[in-house]
Amino acid sequence: MRKRERLQVLIVGLKEKDAGKTSLALALLAYLKEKGLNACGFKPRAGNSVWYDYDVVHEALSQGRLYGKDAKLLKAVSPFGSDAGAIVEEFINPFHRLWAEPPLIDPITQIPYFILDRITLWLKEGVRNLVVVNEALPVEYRCNDAIVEKLSAKAFGIYHVRNLDMLNKLTERYYDLAVELVYQKMNKQYDCLVIESYSDIALPWKGLRDLNAVLGVKPGQISVYKPEKYLAAVQLAASTYSQEELATSRIVELVKPIKEVRIPPFRSEEMIQRLTEKIPMLLELLV
């Protein structure tokens, strides 16, 4: 890998669940730290289920906050920036959704079955947490009201969504703004950003730019993509398909990796170290 003034790597999942994105992100951050580089993890959007991830949900809500296990892991290996105390889970992950079970889309309202969203705006005048509560969620999928109350108690603003139009307006006004505000701060504070997408979504937000590499991961394999070709494929797919969020399966139909590295299964306690050993092989083609 040639030395650069800045480095931005996007990690995407090549399958919807348990692709290995966070493990690869942690390994890359460990490698960059070993090289003496100032690197930070960034998961712009995330979500977890109140049923399957209740340990971390309970931990966060006991503090009047909401974050997931991925943001917690990335925060633990990311150094403080120039803004003292800036590295908290809400900085690593400015938008988090708490899903109901099952995570479906309501056939009538077309609103996803989520309980609430936490949006954190890192503004010059201070940090502002917004909470979006899904009032359209059917009663049988709702959770204890205490979950909403815990987070809402510390919120700067609370929005109660009852229809898709209102959700879309809030999304347009705040969601990408929250991501972009953190992205700008991170670019000022860090030399390297390791950006992790969510689920199998090809691009975590539309404003992502200036990538040096794209790494796609699934069990047994990591694929390296030229960023300009990958982003061109995303743009082409966006003009072809009507979905707001494009799956990586649509993108890999259009662009071939420049390198593929096979990864055997590792024991959990050795996973990060063994993946870290693979990083030079993944980054050697960066120009």
Per the model's pLDDT, the better-predicted residue between 165 and 286 turns out to be: 165
Query: What's the angle, vertex CA 49, arms to CA 126 and CA 121, rounded to 5?
Result: 10
Q: How many domains does the chain have?
A: 2
Q: Quickly tell me which residue has 């502002």 as its tokens.
A: 128
Give the model confidence (pLDDT) of 112-130 as tens digits. Answer: 999 999 999 999 989 999 9
Same domain membership, residue 267 and residue 164 = no
Q: Say whether both 112 and 169 belong to one domain.
A: yes
Which two tokens mark 144?
A: 């204890």
pTM reported for the whole predicted model: 0.91
Give the pairing type, strands 114-123 and 95-99.
antiparallel
Q: Show which of 168, 189, 210 is a domain's final residue.
A: 189
Give the residue from 139, 165, 189 where a domain finishes. 189
Domain that holds residue 63: 43-189
pLDDT over 90 for what percent of the chain?
55
Question: Is the same domain home to 101 and 169?
Answer: yes
pLDDT for 189-203, tens place per residue?
898 999 999 999 999
Mean pLDDT of 145-170: 88
Reduced to 3 states (helix: H, G, I; strand: E, B; else coil), residue 174 is: helix
Under DSSP, the state recorded for 135 is: T
Q: Are residues 183 and 195 in the same domain?
A: no
Among 223, 180, 280, smallest CA distance to 12 is for 223
Contact 212, 7 (CB under 8 A): yes
Q: Take residue 52 and report the two structure tokens written for it.
A: 């399957």
Whether the predicted pLDDT of 84 surpasses 50: no
**CA nearest 198: which of 63, 286, 68?**
68
Both 48 and 172 in one domain: the answer is: yes
pLDDT tens, position by position, 56-75: 888 998 888 999 999 999 99
Mean pLDDT, residues 213-231 taken together: 94
- In degrees rounded to 5, what are phi and psi of residue 286? -65, 140
- Is the confidence at residue 82, as pLDDT, over 60? no
Q: Which residue's entry shows tokens 């290996």?
A: 77
